[in-house]
A = this chain, B = another copy of it.
Amino acid sequence: MAGDPVNVAPHVYKTVLENDRVRVLEAGGSPGLITGMHSHPNQVAIALADTKMKFTFPNGESAEAELKAGEVMYLEPVEHTVELLGSEEGRLILVELK
């Protein structure tokens, strides 16, 4: 597995709280920010602001996703890089499940 997002991209991911059930990250920043390859377990993403992203996977394929402020998405375990797109600062809460 690729690295921990908090270590790989501390300019994008910060730990908000952690216990034996979850780790909660805040993620975001300005359009154009990009992370190195990293992995997440199952997680719930909650958008605090409109956030548009491009994911690139280890096989080279990519996908875009957009969450409006207040929208929620469930993600299976994933390994990817993330680039922030759009014209505004993106901001997400990620509830990683242990």
Indicate how many identical chains form the complex: 2
Indicate the member of A16, A24, A26, A95 with the most B CB atoms within 10 Å: A95
Contact residue among B17, B22, B48, B93 (Cβ-Cβ distance under 8 Å from A97): B22
Residue of B nearest to A42 (CB): B21
Number of interface residues of A (CB under 8 A): 19
Q: Which residue of B lies closest to A49 (CB)?
A: B70
22 contacts between A and B (CB under 8 A): A17-B72, A19-B74, A21-B42, A21-B97, A22-B74, A22-B95, A22-B97, A24-B44, A24-B74, A26-B70, A26-B72, A44-B95, A46-B46, A46-B48, A46-B93, A46-B95, A48-B48, A48-B69, A48-B70, A70-B93, A72-B93, A95-B95
Given contacts A26-B72, A72-B93, could you give 13 more A-B pairs where the C-beta distance is less than 8 Å?
A16-B72, A21-B42, A22-B74, A22-B97, A24-B44, A24-B72, A26-B70, A46-B46, A46-B48, A46-B95, A48-B69, A70-B93, A97-B97
